[in-house]
């Protein structure tokens, strides 16, 4: 099944929401670029399994 059709089916199944317009379909199809971006990053970050708190880091690296 093509990416957009899969995406539409998943949204309908999980959220009971249908595409409100053609722009919605185009933007949903563009999620393929999000997938590609995640795939490109995957494995490049050595710290992704470490526990972290964003707020704690804000304090840790503050001025």
Partner 1 sequence: MTALADLGLVDAADAVARREVSSAALLDACLARLEVVNPTLNATIWVDRERAQKAAQAADAALAAGKPAGRLHGIPLAHKDMYYQAGLPCTCGSAIRRDFVPDITCTVVERLSAAGAYSFAGLNMAEFAQNPTGHNRAFGDCHNPWKPPYITGGSSSGSGAAVASGVTYASLGSDTGGSIRLPASACGVTGIKPTQTRVSRYGVMPLSFSADNVGPLARSARDCARILSVIAGADPKDPTSASEPVPDYEAALTGDLRGVRIGVPTNAFTTIAEPPVMAALEAALKVLEGRGAAIVRLDLPLMSAISAYVGVISRAEGAAIHSRWMRERAKDYAPHLSARLYGGYAIPATYYVEALACRGPILKAFAAEVFGTVDLLATPTIPTCLPTLAETDIDHGPPGTEQRFMAVSVNTRPFNYLGLPAASAPCGLDPNGLPIGLQIAGRPFAEARVLKAVDAYQRDTDWHRRRPPVVPA
- Residue 1 binds to partner 1 (criterion: CB under 8 A): no
Helices (runs of H) and strands (runs of E) counted in the chain: 4, 0
DSSP E strands: which ranges in 1-63? none
Residue numbers 3-62 binding partner 1 by CB under 8 A: 7, 10-11, 14-17, 19-24, 26-28, 30-31, 34, 37-38, 40-41, 44-45, 47-48, 50, 52-62
- Residue 2 binds to partner 1 (criterion: CB under 8 A): no
d(CA 32, CA 12): 18
d(CA 18, CA 9): 9
User: Which residues of the chain form contacts with partner 1 (CB under 8 A)?
Assistant: 7, 10-11, 14-17, 19-24, 26-28, 30-31, 34, 37-38, 40-41, 44-45, 47-48, 50, 52-63
């Amino acid at each position: 099944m093509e990416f957009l059709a899969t995406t539409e089916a998943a949204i309908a199944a999980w959220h009971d929401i249908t595409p409100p317009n053609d722009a919605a379909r185009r933007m949903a199809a563009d999620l393929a670029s999000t997938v590609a971006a995640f795939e490109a990053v995957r494995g490049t970050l050595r710290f992704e399994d470490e526990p972290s708190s964003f707020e704690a880091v804000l304090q840790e690296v503050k001025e």
